[in-house]
Structure 1
């Protein structure tokens, strides 16, 4: 029964022009979800043909041209990026990469695009290989890196079934910068410090201040996430089985 359902799904997606590589990836993600839930595919997702239709907006694999897709690039500070990724992921925006300025380069497939979910992890040093090995079986794909952070994505259809496809989508946002209140306050302090550094030391002092500020920001936010991870691990260890 399961094999027949996936055969019908693959055939319907193939008829809709979905690339073979993406059909295989989608089927693998859905099989992984079913293995965890212990349910039959038709019970979980409904008839294969109807479910395939709900995935009609599957975006092509990264790097493949798509003239009909919407494209949008935006950025947020490290205190606000995860919240904005969740908001924009629910609107069907898929992060293709982070550019050299740390901006999220996104696209949204036409028709009924998928909703996406994201997570940010510290992937510096030896932690990188271990984290990639842990997240890959869960369907998480590395979609960009910035400083010590890695950003991961996966379609919500892998965990929510048909609910992972959107019916209607909002217009492309006019904004490209999303700052938290904390970041705005820091910018004011930063502007004052930059002005003082320039007046006293000139351009070299300003360059040193920028480099130091970037390094401190990365270290501080990485420490916050590491501390949260330790607290969560301690809670899990103390929780009764």
Structure 2
């Protein structure tokens, strides 16, 4: 059994490269694990297990002819900007890895029983020059962009990179039965927008309220635009509901 940390982490890095993990993420992961090992005061094998097996858990097991991926779970869900990060943290702790966002803004998630890890997520504004700045700042820390929606980007990394063995999962909760998660503020905004659209349709098509149709149309559009601006400001402030 190998007990030399340098040899162990060299083997781990080689195994992670073989699973397709980016070099920057490998460097950050190995650095975090070295720090954890120094605090633990034990050997690498005692703390993490064999290097090849631990690398498979960190990098995700790829399906092979001998080991088909038929047991993988998938899940599509969405949330508003007031509760997306809270829910990503919650379900990331249950082993759900975000692989991207679809055209409707739903998170495409996947987990493999027996090889699932805990995941951590963060959301960044990427409008203008913020995109390059966010990538330069987060990539060396092991963060990987896993989806974009309008002016926002979502990043992920396995919790094993920051928590060592605590980032692994032994049991998996059942897949949630819901796909739509709206906060109280999100529901209120949707209700306001629905009222504005209904008023616009009523005036334009039924001539109600004795107001010029263009006046109502512009008022409704102004209200919708104001709501969108408010959403963007809340996201920039990091609001959660």
In structure 2, relative to structure 1, the CA distance for the partners of 1:178 and 1:6 (3 Å cut) is: same
Partner of 2:82: 79
1:219 to partner: Cα distance: 3.1
* Stretch moving more, 26-35 or 98-107: 26-35
Give SS of 1:154's match.
strand
Give SS of 1:170's match.
coil
Q: Quote the Cα distance in structure 1 between the aligned partners of 2:201 and 2:30.
A: 59
Partner of 1:105: 108
Unaligned stretches of 5+ residues in structure 2: 63-67, 206-212
1:137-216 mapped onto 2 (5 Å cutoff)? 137-202=140-205, 216=226
Q: Quote the Cα distance in structure 1 between the aligned partners of 2:235 and 2:139.
A: 21
Partner of 1:28: 27
Q: Quote the Cα distance in structure 2 between the aligned partners of 1:9 and 1:88.
A: 27
Partner of 2:209: none
Alpha carbons 1:115, 1:165 under 8 Å: kept? yes
Q: What per-residue deviation string (whole Å, max 9, x for no partner) do you get for residues 183-232 of structure 1?
A: 12222222222211111235x99998998777545532332344569xxx
1:155 to partner: Cα distance: 0.5
Alpha carbons 2:82, 2:185 under 8 Å: kept? yes
Q: What per-residue deviation string (whole Å, max 9, x for no partner) do you get for residues 39-77 of structure 1?
A: 38974864453576566555357xxx9433110000001
In structure 2, relative to structure 1, the CA distance for the partners of 1:115 and 1:192 (3 Å cut) is: same
CA RMSD after TM alignment: 3.6
Alpha carbons 2:33, 2:161 under 8 Å: kept? no
1:217-232 mapped onto 2 (5 Å cutoff)? 217-227=227-237
In structure 2, relative to structure 1, the CA distance for the partners of 1:144 and 1:208 (3 Å cut) is: farther
Partner of 1:59: 60
Q: Quote the Cα distance in structure 1 between the aligned partners of 2:34 and 2:50.
A: 21
Alpha carbons 1:77, 1:183 under 8 Å: kept? yes
Alpha carbons 1:140, 1:152 under 8 Å: kept? yes
Partner of 2:92: 89
Q: What per-residue deviation string (whole Å, max 9, x for no partner) do you get for residues 150-209 of structure 1?
A: 11101000000000001101111110011111112222222222211111235x999989
Higher relative contact order (CA 8 A, sep 6+): 2
Unaligned stretches of 5+ residues in structure 1: 230-241
Partner of 1:5: 8
Q: Quote the Cα distance in structure 2 between the aligned partners of 1:215 and 1:66.
A: 45
Alpha carbons 2:97, 2:109 under 8 Å: kept? yes
Q: Quote the Cα distance in structure 1 between the aligned partners of 2:151 and 2:31.
A: 29
Alpha carbons 1:79, 1:180 under 8 Å: kept? yes
* Stretch moving more, 215-224 or 76-85: 215-224
Aligned length: 221
